[in-house]
Structure 1
Amino acid sequence: MLVEKIKSILGLTYKDYILVKDSDKILGEERIIDAIEAEGYSIIFYKDVEEFRYVFESQIKAGDLKRVLLVLNEDTYVAYDIIKWFSICNLNYGEIFPRLNRLILNQTRALDWDYISIVYENTYEDYSSEEMTHKFLEEVIYEKQHLVAYLKKLEKDLNKLLKEADDYRKWFQIAYINAKRNLIIGKLDLDKKDFVDFSKEFQAYIFKDFGSLSGKSTYKGPILVSKAMDFLLRRKKKTAFIVLDGMSISDWMVLERYLDYKAKTNFVFAMIPTVTSISRQSLLAGLLPQELEKPFSLVNEKKQYYSKVEEYMEESLINYYRGYDLDPSFKDFFITTVINEIDDMVHRQMYGMEGHISDITRMAQTGKLNKLIGKLLESGFEVYIGSDHGNKESFGIGRPRGMGIEVETKSQKMMIIKDYAETKELIEDYNLLEYPGYYLPKDYSYLLSRDDEALTLENARIMSHGGISIEEVIVPFIEIEGEDNYE
């Protein structure tokens, strides 16, 4: 809905050359850019006077660029002859939401603008004072009727995407919408069985296309966790990488609300099976599991991390930390800190998804992550946050014994078996999937639990990971942007 509002304000249906003063930096969001480009516009962010003058003379006046959206985010000088060429438009939160306070909207992080749009259209009260806008954001949007209305929209969006879910980009969108949906379903205490289930479609996509993802371009960002390190290191910037082990997309949505910093959220595929020993090693070593010396053990994780980063810089510039309490050296140029808090909460959780989200909220409220990000930014680092796998509420169907490799004793969603002939019987008895083993050592069999099932005591309700559900497989990859959305 936000996109449609923006398109209307800009007048895309009847203007070819638009100069938009985007003082609130609204047009930095990728999906908005994609929607405008789909209307045939070339989007140019105006930063350098001479650089744009060249584009204006050689491409716009010459007629090579037929439709142009020129974006200014501050009072930058623009020559009069250029201004005359364009229709001028002001875009800010006051224009989009005149009954809300623009200052408060700018100060509040991690707002779901589509949801804000729905609630705004369904209410008629004037919330334009600071006090009333706070009430709108802290109380009104959480009223049941608004959550239900948004849930219906998310279901509609999911059904539309599922009809065209033919590549990883669509599945990233589906994973994001699904995470939003899961949080609302949990808040309203609804039965997820009453909503669209796409687990079979996602499983089919993984079995068909997951094995080809390593060959796709990562110019805009990594697609697999194994490509994240190369993406970060190729930038040659002073970088801090925070790895929140076990963080799902919905976990990040909760954490982000309590940060003082803007963040750009992208997504990557974890390695399957979605366990720490396989996927986090792959993340930090920049290797596929089959390339790891010991893919089922974390014993070499730190060594392999250093080996990867040393492909780009000398060892004295690299560091590896654990937890929140770190004091970077003045020499540090590329650092990583691994934080196990979410994964630990997952495995000790006794109250399912509701209990987990309560724990994540309490974790966010401590401010530890916010403080760490602030310290790293003050030390001159560009900050990224990643995850090795997500998590999932599952229900026990029984526990096989006396076979398989104990890859990670906490995981109850998969089995890795070597030299065991009776896998067919196991598959039948425990409703398992025989995974093709993409990127994994070939001399093992990989058996995975289905979407909401787990290899634990029958009917037990647990939070875990290791399986093939979208909540476990597609995880957030985040860039902390600070105050400048266009950098």
Structure 2
Amino acid sequence: MKSAVIAKLKQSPIPFILLYDIDDITSSEDILTSITSQGFQLVNYDDSIAFRYFFEKNFREKPDCNVKLVLKVTGYHNYMPYDIESSFYNITLSLKELFPGLSYSILKELDSELYNRLYRVYKYMGQNLSQRETLDFILKNLFGIYPETINKFTDLIKALIDFYYENDSLPQVVSDYLADLLMCKEDFKEYPVKKLLEGADSFFDYLQGQWEIFVKGLTSTLPIKSAVDFSHKDIKIYLGSLFDEGYLTPVRSDNIDNVPLWVHRGILIDELGQLRAIYNNLLDRLYDTLDNITSYKDWLQAAKDWAEILVIYNDERIQGRLDEKAFISISDMLNSRFRTWLFDNYNLLPSLSYARAPVMVHHIPWYINYRMGKDATQKAALIVVDGMALDDWLIISRYLNRNSSCRFEEKFCFAWIPTITSISRQAIFSGQIPRYFGKTIFSTSEDERHWKKFWAERGIRPDAIYYMRGIKHFNENGLRDIVENPKSKMLGLVVNMIDDMVHGQQMLRAGLHQNLRLWMEKEGFKKFLQTLLERNFDVYITSDHGHVSSVGQGNLREGLAVDRAADRVRIYEQGKNYETALKRYKAYKWAGYGLPEEYNYIISDGCYSYGKDNEKNLTHGGISIEEVIVPFIHIRKEE
């Protein structure tokens, strides 16, 4: 399909192309990469005034004959200004044209990332497939799942372990189709088939619960039996990898005398020894990931594994017992390769589809709006935990998951670079790339106005939209009134506790993790989430940026002021000399993708910051993976 799209674009006799991408086909990573590699620059058309400013400044005033501009309009756009439409070569792209024999209504439900794969396996033979026939074709040819071979519950567990090793979920329409097929079979009526098909998180949560029951059944005198037969040869063969790679967690057991040896892999016998084994397995998997990066999604997995490593590495019970050289080596390699990848690919991320999950933090309100329409929900609360890194979230989530009746959908997305609050958090609440709020780029005072404007434009009454910041213990004045107000539909909340901990932290990450545990033991956050869910809010949790352990390389008192914790960046107005920052310090100029062009952004290299010589701190503002990739969590009541 990539070649078909490129061939269409190359038909244009002029360098300005107006692409009516009716079905948002070009928002997939592989197609976007192909388009840019052919010398095209793709720009989304959101607002005529903003586009005119961008076009005049970047193409009329300084034309580049090597770059062809593709102005993309998604969906059936009602109005395009005549002067723009007539100045561009018009092209239309649609799923009906690319997949003439497949059901259009089914294709529209798929994520754009799947279209290129589907194009490779589908050949039109003159036959038009029905909805069910299209679903059957997709299930078998894209996902390798053959319903006719799944006749027992063990068959389903095996098939889903295979599937979730390579994928995080099936498209909803495909999942519903498979669930209907299976539930027609008598052997599946007593099992939670839909829960297992909701995604990898839901499936492995179920498997974890069943493993706990299975072990209890082996060690108890009571007749306890798990729904999953882990002793079956088709399931047993996976167990070692499931525990080694962290899909399942070993459980505690007081009596293992009569437990078969193969079960010991999943029992917490030597906790520190198993922590060390998990740590080493994570290092191996991270090395393997770094050698095989093909997509931004690979970096999300790398960030998750690195966060797990950071949690173990900073666990006071095992500190000093792990391979320090291996930790430093992988850290250097990770961020060196991440930096190279960001310079080559970061500019593509804003244009990627957010249908399955936001890729960047400014996609978040758009995604929430999309989900509310798709799930027919009426109320949502977005909680932005200022400065929360992925490893912080892992600690928090373990407390929230205890005895929880909630369902957690865990995703990750990219913060805006430089990773400072006034840029990245403002992007979250506005739904815009920073270029479009350049006048307020150094302030957080506009977050409330941005948030209310975004939702008012989507039809939410102004008196149903609320914003509050400065939350730390969830007992702040006015917070309860907002949540309990029957008119409330859309909440934007900023939690400042972690950011405050980062600013005052003397013991670096280990101390921060310990403070987080103490904070979570008070259960204020957990009880607040329960209150939101009880009042029928869909809850989303995210962060504007993370933080990294840094070493000061000397104070630099140039550039525009940012908060001290963002000491890894200095920002200079255009025309101001920033050579000192590059020559005297380990630093480089960031490419500035999506940022206001009135400034230059000079970022500290490696793990350095513009602080007091050799002083160690937790800081942000740079482009390390700990600062850039942040959690995005959707929490709903368990049905």
Say which structure is richer in helix. Answer: 2
Equivalent of 2:343 in 207, 211, 216: 207
Please state how far the C-alpha of 1:450 moved relative to its aligned partner. 2.1
CA contact (8 A) 1:435 1:447 kept: yes
What letter is aligned with 1:32?
A: Y
Distance 1:36 1:386 in 2: 19
Distance 1:249 1:36, change over 3 A: closer
Q: Secondary structure at 2:605's aligned position in 1?
A: coil
In 1, Cα distance between the equivalents of 2:168 and 2:634? 23
Instruction: Give TM-score, length-normalised by structure 1.
Output: 0.77
For residue 466 of structure 2, give the secondary structure of its aligned residue in structure 1: strand
User: Who is 2:361 aligned against?
Assistant: 225
Of the three residues 187, 193, 214, the one matched with 2:328 is 193
Q: Counterparts of 1:183 and 1:357 in 2: how far apart (Å)?
A: 8
After TM superposition, the structure 1 = structure 2 runs for residues 70-89 of structure 1, keeping only pairs within 5 Å, are 73-74=191-192
- 1:59 paired residue number: none
Shift of 1:101: 3.1
Runs of 4+ in 1 over 6 A off after TM superposition: 12-15, 24-31, 69-72, 102-106
Query: Is contact 2:568–2:609 with CA below 8 Å preserved after alignment?
Result: yes
Residue 278 (structure 1) aligned to one of 423, 440, 450: 423
Q: What number of residue pairs does the alignment pair up?
A: 426
- 2:493 and 2:226 map into 1 onto residues whose CA distance is 32
Structure 1 partner of 2:544: 388
The percentage of counterpart residues that share the same residue type is 27
> Is contact 2:179-2:193 (8 Å) kept?
no
Helix, strand or coil at the partner of 1:451: coil
Say if 1:71 and 1:278 are closer, same or farther in 2 by CA, change over 3 A.
Answer: farther
1:320 aligns to 2:456 (yes or no): no
How far apart are 1:449 and its partner, in Å?
Answer: 1.3
The 1:48–1:16 alpha-carbon spacing in structure 2 relative to 1, beyond 3 Å, is closer
Gaps of 5+ in 1: 1-11, 57-68, 77-90
Q: 1:155: how far off?
A: 1.3
Partner SS, residue 345 of structure 2? helix
Distance 1:95 1:365 in 2: 27
1:478 aligns with 2:633: yes
Matched, 1:257 2:412: no
Query: Quick one: distance in 2 between partners of 1:29 and 1:315?
Result: 46
Structure 1 residues 26, 249: closer, same or farther in 2, change over 3 A?
farther
- SS of aligned partner of 2:561: coil
Decide whether aligned partners of structure 1 residues 35 and 297 sit closer, same or farther in structure 2, where only a CA change above 3 A counts: closer
Distance 1:221 1:356 in 2: 29
Partner residue in 1 for 2:493 = 337
Distance 1:92 1:426, change over 3 A: closer
Question: 1:458: Cα distance to partner?
Answer: 0.9
How far residue 457 of structure 1 moved from its aligned partner, in angstroms, is: 0.7
CA distance in 1, matches of 2:337, 2:189: 39
Tell me, yes or no, if the aligned pair for 2:213 and 2:226 is still in contact at 8 Å: no
The secondary structure found in structure 2 opposite 1:463 is strand
- 1:18–1:397 Cα change, 3 Å: same
Q: Given residue 375 of structure 1, which amino acid in structure 2 is its aligned partner?
A: T
Change (3 A) 1:457 1:118: same
SS at 1:290 equivalent? helix
CA contact (8 A) 1:297 1:407 kept: no
Q: What is the alpha-carbon distance in structure 1 between the residues aligned to residue 161 and residue 586 of structure 2?
A: 42
SS of equivalent to 2:381: strand
- CA separation in 2, counterparts of 1:370 and 1:104? 32
Corresponding residue for residue 305 of structure 1: 451
Tell me, yes or no, if the aligned pair for 1:319 and 1:335 is still in contact at 8 Å.
yes
Q: CA deviation at 1:45?
A: 6.5
1:290 paired residue among 410, 428, 435: 435
AA aligned opposite 1:268: C
Partner residue of 2:215? 100
Q: 1:240 maps to what in 2?
A: 381
2:287 to 152, 156, 159: 159
Letter in structure 2 aligned against 1:208: D
> Is contact 2:508–2:549 with CA below 8 Å preserved after alignment?
yes
The change in CA–CA distance for 1:362 and 1:98 in structure 2 (over 3 A counts) is: closer
C-alpha contact (below 8 Å) 2:419/2:545 kept by paired residues = yes
Unaligned runs of 5+ in 2: 1-143, 195-205, 218-223, 228-241
Please report the RMSD computed on the Cα atoms of aligned residues, expressed in angstroms: 3.8
How many Å apart are 1:156 and its aligned residue? 1.3
Mapped to 2, the partners of 1:482 and 1:147 lie a distance apart of 32
1:310-361 CA distance string (max 9 Å, x none):
1212212211123223222101111121111111110110111111111111
Tell me if structure 2 keeps the 8 A contact 1:399–1:456.
yes
**Inter-partner Cα distance in structure 2 for 1:365 and 1:479:** 22
- Residues 255, 360 of structure 1: 8 Å contact kept: yes
* Secondary structure at 1:257 match in 2: helix
What CA distance in whole angstroms lies between the structure 2 residues aligned with 1:95 and 1:450? 47
Alignment check: 8 A CA contact 1:346 1:356 kept? yes
Q: Against the structure 1 CA distance between its residues 156 and 395, is the aligned structure 2 distance closer, same or farther, given a 3 Å change threshold?
A: same
Q: Per chain length, whose mean CA-contact separation is higher, i.e. which structure has more relative contact order (CA < 8 Å, sep 6+)?
A: 1
Please state whether the residue corresponding to 2:571 is helix, strand or coil.
Answer: strand
User: Out of 320, 342, 356, which is 2:512 matched to?
Assistant: 356
* Pair member with larger Rg: 2
**Alpha-carbon offset, residue 364 of structure 1:** 1.2
Residue 266 in 1 paired to residue 411 in 2?
Answer: yes
Match of residue 32 from structure 1: 164
Native 8 Å contact 1:46 1:71 kept in 2:
no
Specify the SS of the correspondent of 2:276. helix
Cα gap change, 1:29 to 1:72, in 2 (>3 Å): farther
Structure 2 counterpart of 1:385, which letter? I
Q: For the structure 1 residues 26 and 271, does the alpha-carbon distance in structure 2 shift closer, same or farther, using more than 3 Å as the test?
A: farther
113, 129, 145: which one pairs with 2:273?
A: 145
Matched, 1:461 2:616: yes
CA displacement at 1:47 relative to structure 2: 5.7
Deviations 1:274-293, CA, capped at 9 Å, x for gaps? 01111000011111111114
Q: Which deviates the most, 406-415 or 464-473?
A: 406-415
Alignment partners' CA distance in 2, 1:405 and 1:104: 64
